[in-house]
A and B are shown apart, each in its own frame.
Chain A
Amino acid sequence: MASMASAIIYRELVWIRRFLADYIVSWLLSLIYPLGVVVVPSALSGSTTVVERFSALYGIEMGLGDVYTIVIILTGMINVVSVIMYDIIGTLFTEFKLMDVGPMILEASSIARYAILNAILRPLIMALFSTTYLAPLLLFISGYKGLLEFLIIELALILSAVALGLYASIFATLLIFFTSTSRPWTIVSVLTSAILAGTGIYIPTELVPLVLRLIAFTTPVPQTCRALFAIAFKGFSQVLVAFGSVLAFSIVLYLGVSGALLKYAEFKVRKGWK
């Protein structure tokens, strides 16, 4: 188990080193979000209007610094959801369906063990790398308090990423071993958009169609967003407790479901059933 974990970490770090430029671009792309919801509107209609609208939307009196803090934190969530969903489903699909790396993994271990370790370790690494930019930004906005805020936010994002990784592995298993899908990326794009929209990141949840909200609520993302919001405005201990409980429950549930599915998938693969 430990050697497999170190193999996955090794491969991940090689990939990050090789594709660092691509990764940085995709991570920073989410900064379009604060540009679109705060910077441009502030330039067009003044920052006071933007702050008033945000205060009304969240029901809390905010300053411009709070508005920037919350939207920048939410970019972290956007990155985590899109990177993890794409990486877990896309990579497993490529490994087993396109590159035929499956036998190499099966020669050494089991699909279930590999896929679950992969679904835990990749999110840990990718969430860390894809949200590191939050540290200088929060430091710039809130000073040293911002740095402390970053550490707590990072922890919440990483834990949420692990749960999301396991969640994505359920879809990956279904797509790879139980369907004949040849373009999983289409499904990943739809799923990622549905999760983010259903969480209420782009528009208030009340305005989001029920089906999208339902998809989002099968993930820990909505609860993570509430937790991030609570961290940004401090002292919302109850929300954090709920976040912890939802996260723990989600991880156990996803682990159970993906574990069972992967075990059956492995049985199918070793039996040669299609």
Chain B
Amino acid sequence: MKGIVVEDVGKYYVSREGFRKKHVIEALKGVSFSVSSGEIHALLGPNGAGKTTLIKILATLLLPDSGRAYVEGYDVVSQAREVRKIIGVVLDVSKGFYTSLTGFENLVFYGMLKGYSYSDARKRAREVLELVGLWDTGAYSRPYYTYSLGMRARLSIAKALLTNPRVLLLDEPTLGLDVESARMVRRLIVDLSKEGRTMLITGHNMYEIEQVANSITIMSSGRVVAHGKPQELKQTLGLLHRVVMVVKGGAEGLVNAIRSDLNVSSVGIDDVGEASRIVLYTRAGREEVIQVVLGVLKKMGASLLDLAIEEPTLEDAYLAVVRGNDSGKHG
């Protein structure tokens, strides 16, 4: 079953300067993708790509101008009330709460807005505050304006979890967080996913996204430019592996032999004392590289001192997609 379906969604913003002058900004241009239930799906793209707009549309906070979007089968426009019952949303983690109320009071207020009774809202607020680590530290009883950014992010996630939603929409939940808080949020996201929740998450930290996401959609200038699993994306884009070897004896001959068996893009050889450091780039897979290199070494009788095969990262894939899209756009 699909947790989230986005079909050809378009969105433009109208802003006015004075009474007559009107600016129209097209934020989404026919965006389509889908997310399976229980999956963590990452939405990537440079600033202004339309990620937050899309999250807001799925959260029923914004109306699309064209196309359709569904959350767990409910239309976000015509069945907005049903959608609101099953989603939890994190938008800007730095604000969105009453500054003079404590974290606990903010959550109780939100719970009551969402239809909980006073006692249920208090009970649930305590549960989610414990889950995000704001209860034991006593931070729950301090006014929101005293919170650090990390504590604010945790409270935002607690708010999103308050109604025990089946779908979580998280817009840059780790933005500006310190290493420990970001790790805690990542762990929480993975744990929540294990409970079967569908998650749509945006962010700019590729390492982080690679750690948690099952699938990815890359957006640029309001369009989807790539979609798939992280590994698939890297393969589709044909990104190069970086192979670093330190060998003793016959570096030139070794490289020529490897070249005859592998499709190598570029090579560099440096002398490191008695040994040579060879760096080469290839589109071949990891297993093939190991097989060829070890075979050639054996045949040539050279000794291998060190071998490192660096896989292309998600960041490489992302940059390749976004830069490719930008260069295409600018001709």
Residues of A within 8 A of B (CB): 3-4, 6-7, 10-11, 14-15, 18-19, 95, 99-101, 103-109, 270-274
Contacts and interface: CB of A to CB of B under 8 A. Distances in A.
B113 A100 contact: no
B118 A103 contact: no
A99 B99 contact: yes
B91 interface: yes
B91 A103 contact: yes
Contacts of B101: 11, 14-15
Contacts, number: 86
A3 B84 contact: no
By DSSP majority rule, is chain A's interface helix, strand, loop, or mixed? helix
A81 to B, nearest CB: 24
Nearest to B111: A7
A19 B100 CA distance: 10
Contact of B84 (A6, A100, A107, A274): A107
A274 B15 contact: yes
B109 A271 contact: no
A109 to B, nearest CB: 7
Nearest to A109: B113
15 contacts: A6-B112, A7-B110, A7-B113, A14-B105, A15-B101, A99-B95, A104-B96, A105-B113, A106-B60, A107-B59, A107-B61, A107-B84, A271-B65, A272-B53, A273-B14
B61 A3 contact: no
B234 interface: no
Nearest to A267: B63
A266 to B, nearest CB: 10
B113 A4 contact: yes
Contact of A273 (B13, B53, B89, B112): B13
Nearest to B114: A108
Contacts of B62: 270-272
Interface residues of B, number: 36
A10 B112 contact: yes
Contacts of A19: 100
B67 interface: no
Contact of A270 (B27, B61, B117): B61
Contacts of A103: 59, 61, 89, 91, 96
Given A3-B113, A104-B110, A108-B114, A18 B96 contact: no
Nearest to A7: B112
Contacts of B115: 3, 108
B153 to A, nearest CB: 15
Contacts of B116: 3
A111 to B, nearest CB: 11
Most chain A CB neighbours (cut-off 10 Å) among B99, B113, B118: B113
A103 B160 CA distance: 12
A171 B159 CA distance: 31
B95 A100 contact: yes
Contact of B100 (A4, A15, A273): A15
B112 A99 contact: no
A18 B101 CA distance: 9
B92 A100 contact: yes
Pairs A-B, 6 closest by C-beta atoms: A7-B112, A108-B113, A274-B15, A7-B113, A3-B115, A100-B95
Interface string B118-153: 100000000000000000000000000000000000
A105 B61 CA distance: 10
A15 B101 CA distance: 8
B20 interface: no
A10 B101 CA distance: 11
A18 B102 CA distance: 11
A272 B84 CA distance: 19
Given A271-B63, A273-B13, A274-B13, A107 B100 contact: no
A99 B108 CA distance: 17
Given A4-B112, A10-B112, A272-B27, 15 more contacts: A3-B115, A7-B113, A11-B109, A14-B101, A15-B100, A100-B95, A101-B96, A101-B97, A101-B98, A103-B61, A103-B89, A107-B61, A109-B113, A270-B61, A273-B14
A7 B63 CA distance: 26
A10 B118 contact: yes
Contacts of B299: none
B13 A100 contact: no
A29 to B, nearest CB: 21
Contacts of B330: none
B68 interface: no
A100 B159 CA distance: 15
Contact of B118 (A6, A18, A105, A109): A6
A6 to B, nearest CB: 6
Interface string B45-63: 0000000010000011111
A151 B141 CA distance: 38
